[in-house]
Amino acid sequence: MESVAAVKDAPAGSRFNELETRNHRAAIRRVLPSDDGAGAREAGADDYVLEVMEKRAGPLSVRDAKTGLGMLEDLARRRGERSFCELSAAEQDEVLRQLQLIPHPTVQRFFKRLVALTLEGFLCDPQRGGNRDQVGWSSLGIEGARVPGACVGEDPCPHE
Protein backbone atom coordinates (compact mmCIF):
# COMPACT_ATOMS: atom_id res chain seq x y z
CA MET A 1 0.00 0.00 0.00
CA GLU A 2 1.04 3.54 -0.65
CA SER A 3 2.41 5.21 2.45
CA VAL A 4 0.33 7.98 3.92
CA ALA A 5 3.27 10.36 3.64
CA ALA A 6 3.22 9.85 -0.14
CA VAL A 7 -0.43 10.85 -0.50
CA LYS A 8 -0.83 14.14 -2.30
CA ASP A 9 -3.77 16.36 -2.95
CA ALA A 10 -6.12 15.24 -5.68
CA PRO A 11 -6.19 17.16 -8.97
CA ALA A 12 -7.45 20.73 -8.98
CA GLY A 13 -11.20 20.89 -8.70
CA SER A 14 -11.47 17.74 -6.59
CA ARG A 15 -13.04 18.22 -3.20
CA PHE A 16 -11.12 15.37 -1.53
CA ASN A 17 -7.47 14.32 -1.55
CA GLU A 18 -6.44 10.73 -2.29
CA LEU A 19 -6.25 9.66 1.36
CA GLU A 20 -9.70 11.09 2.09
CA THR A 21 -11.07 9.27 -0.96
CA ARG A 22 -9.48 5.94 0.01
CA ASN A 23 -10.69 6.27 3.61
CA HIS A 24 -14.18 7.24 2.44
CA ARG A 25 -14.32 4.20 0.13
CA ALA A 26 -13.09 1.90 2.90
CA ALA A 27 -15.69 3.24 5.34
CA ILE A 28 -18.50 2.79 2.79
CA ARG A 29 -17.42 -0.80 2.23
CA ARG A 30 -17.54 -1.48 5.98
CA VAL A 31 -20.99 0.11 6.38
CA LEU A 32 -22.29 -2.49 3.93
CA PRO A 33 -19.64 -5.23 3.79
CA SER A 34 -19.50 -8.15 1.37
CA ASP A 35 -19.09 -10.68 4.19
CA ASP A 36 -22.37 -12.56 3.68
CA GLY A 37 -23.19 -11.67 0.10
CA ALA A 38 -23.27 -8.61 -2.07
CA GLY A 39 -22.23 -5.40 -0.39
CA ALA A 40 -21.37 -1.82 -1.24
CA ARG A 41 -18.48 -2.87 -3.48
CA GLU A 42 -20.54 -5.21 -5.66
CA ALA A 43 -23.42 -2.76 -6.02
CA GLY A 44 -21.10 0.14 -6.82
CA ALA A 45 -22.40 2.00 -3.76
CA ASP A 46 -18.89 3.24 -2.98
CA ASP A 47 -18.61 4.80 -6.45
CA TYR A 48 -22.11 6.24 -6.06
CA VAL A 49 -21.36 7.90 -2.70
CA LEU A 50 -18.05 9.32 -3.88
CA GLU A 51 -19.76 10.71 -7.01
CA VAL A 52 -22.49 12.33 -4.91
CA MET A 53 -19.96 13.86 -2.53
CA GLU A 54 -17.66 15.00 -5.32
CA LYS A 55 -20.21 16.52 -7.69
CA ARG A 56 -23.61 16.98 -6.04
CA ALA A 57 -23.10 17.63 -2.32
CA GLY A 58 -23.26 21.16 -1.01
CA PRO A 59 -20.35 22.87 0.74
CA LEU A 60 -21.69 22.08 4.22
CA SER A 61 -21.90 18.36 3.44
CA VAL A 62 -18.36 18.43 2.06
CA ARG A 63 -17.13 20.25 5.18
CA ASP A 64 -18.87 17.67 7.38
CA ALA A 65 -17.34 14.85 5.34
CA LYS A 66 -13.85 16.32 5.61
CA THR A 67 -14.30 16.72 9.38
CA GLY A 68 -15.64 13.17 9.73
CA LEU A 69 -12.91 11.70 7.55
CA GLY A 70 -10.31 13.61 9.55
CA MET A 71 -11.67 12.17 12.78
CA LEU A 72 -11.77 8.70 11.21
CA GLU A 73 -8.10 9.03 10.27
CA ASP A 74 -7.22 10.34 13.73
CA LEU A 75 -8.94 7.41 15.44
CA ALA A 76 -7.17 4.97 13.11
CA ARG A 77 -3.78 6.56 13.79
CA ARG A 78 -4.33 6.16 17.53
CA ARG A 79 -4.37 2.39 16.93
CA GLY A 80 -0.94 2.51 15.30
CA GLU A 81 0.85 4.19 12.47
CA ARG A 82 -1.65 3.21 9.79
CA SER A 83 -4.41 5.02 7.96
CA PHE A 84 -8.01 3.88 8.25
CA CYS A 85 -7.89 2.35 4.76
CA GLU A 86 -4.85 0.26 5.77
CA LEU A 87 -6.50 -1.32 8.83
CA SER A 88 -8.04 -4.79 8.84
CA ALA A 89 -11.81 -5.06 8.43
CA ALA A 90 -12.20 -5.77 12.17
CA GLU A 91 -10.09 -2.74 13.06
CA GLN A 92 -12.05 -0.55 10.64
CA ASP A 93 -15.30 -1.74 12.21
CA GLU A 94 -14.03 -0.80 15.66
CA VAL A 95 -12.94 2.66 14.49
CA LEU A 96 -16.37 3.20 12.90
CA ARG A 97 -18.03 2.18 16.19
CA GLN A 98 -15.85 4.70 18.03
CA LEU A 99 -16.69 7.40 15.49
CA GLN A 100 -20.40 6.69 15.84
CA LEU A 101 -20.18 7.35 19.60
CA ILE A 102 -18.55 10.78 19.29
CA PRO A 103 -21.23 13.29 20.32
CA HIS A 104 -19.92 16.11 18.10
CA PRO A 105 -22.78 17.25 15.79
CA THR A 106 -20.61 17.50 12.67
CA VAL A 107 -19.24 13.99 13.18
CA GLN A 108 -22.76 12.71 13.79
CA ARG A 109 -24.01 14.32 10.57
CA PHE A 110 -21.11 12.76 8.65
CA PHE A 111 -21.77 9.30 10.07
CA LYS A 112 -25.52 9.45 9.39
CA ARG A 113 -24.92 10.69 5.84
CA LEU A 114 -22.30 7.98 5.27
CA VAL A 115 -24.80 5.27 6.21
CA ALA A 116 -27.73 6.87 4.36
CA LEU A 117 -25.80 7.43 1.12
CA THR A 118 -24.32 3.92 1.26
CA LEU A 119 -27.80 2.41 1.52
CA GLU A 120 -29.04 4.75 -1.20
CA GLY A 121 -26.20 3.66 -3.47
CA PHE A 122 -26.99 0.01 -2.76
CA LEU A 123 -30.73 0.25 -3.40
CA CYS A 124 -31.31 3.17 -5.80
CA ASP A 125 -32.46 2.94 -9.38
CA PRO A 126 -29.34 1.83 -11.32
CA GLN A 127 -29.87 4.75 -13.69
CA ARG A 128 -28.85 7.02 -10.79
CA GLY A 129 -25.40 5.44 -10.63
CA GLY A 130 -25.67 2.88 -7.84
CA ASN A 131 -27.18 -0.59 -7.45
CA ARG A 132 -24.96 -1.89 -10.25
CA ASP A 133 -26.64 -4.76 -12.10
CA GLN A 134 -29.54 -4.46 -9.62
CA VAL A 135 -27.39 -6.22 -7.00
CA GLY A 136 -29.12 -4.41 -4.14
CA TRP A 137 -32.59 -5.32 -5.36
CA SER A 138 -31.54 -8.93 -5.96
CA SER A 139 -30.25 -9.17 -2.38
CA LEU A 140 -33.80 -8.34 -1.24
CA GLY A 141 -35.32 -10.92 -3.56
CA ILE A 142 -36.58 -8.36 -6.05
CA GLU A 143 -35.69 -9.98 -9.35
CA GLY A 144 -36.26 -8.43 -12.75
CA ALA A 145 -37.52 -5.13 -11.38
CA ARG A 146 -38.74 -2.76 -14.04
CA VAL A 147 -36.47 0.22 -14.32
CA PRO A 148 -38.25 3.14 -15.98
CA GLY A 149 -36.79 3.67 -19.43
CA ALA A 150 -34.72 0.46 -19.34
CA CYS A 151 -36.70 -1.19 -22.12
CA VAL A 152 -36.50 1.56 -24.69
CA GLY A 153 -36.34 -0.17 -28.05
CA GLU A 154 -36.98 -3.63 -26.59
CA ASP A 155 -40.26 -5.22 -27.62
CA PRO A 156 -41.51 -6.89 -25.56
CA CYS A 157 -39.85 -5.52 -22.44
CA PRO A 158 -38.33 -8.47 -20.51
CA HIS A 159 -39.11 -6.71 -17.22
CA GLU A 160 -42.88 -6.46 -17.75
Nearest 5°: CA angle at 29, between 116 and 149?
A: 60
Q: What is the pLDDT of residues 114-130, one digit of tens each?
A: 999 999 999 998 888 89
Split at pLDDT 50, 70, 90, the class of 4 is very low
Q: Is the pLDDT confidence value at 7 over 50?
A: no
First to last CA, the chain: 47
* 3-state SS track over 15-65: CCCHHHHHHHHHHHHHHCCCCCCCCHHHHCHHHHHHHHHHHHCCHHHHHHH
Contact 47, 28 (CB under 8 A): no
Q: What is the pLDDT of residues 9-55, one digit of tens each?
A: 444 456 899 999 999 999 999 999 998 889 999 999 999 999 999 88
* pLDDT recorded at residue 24: 96
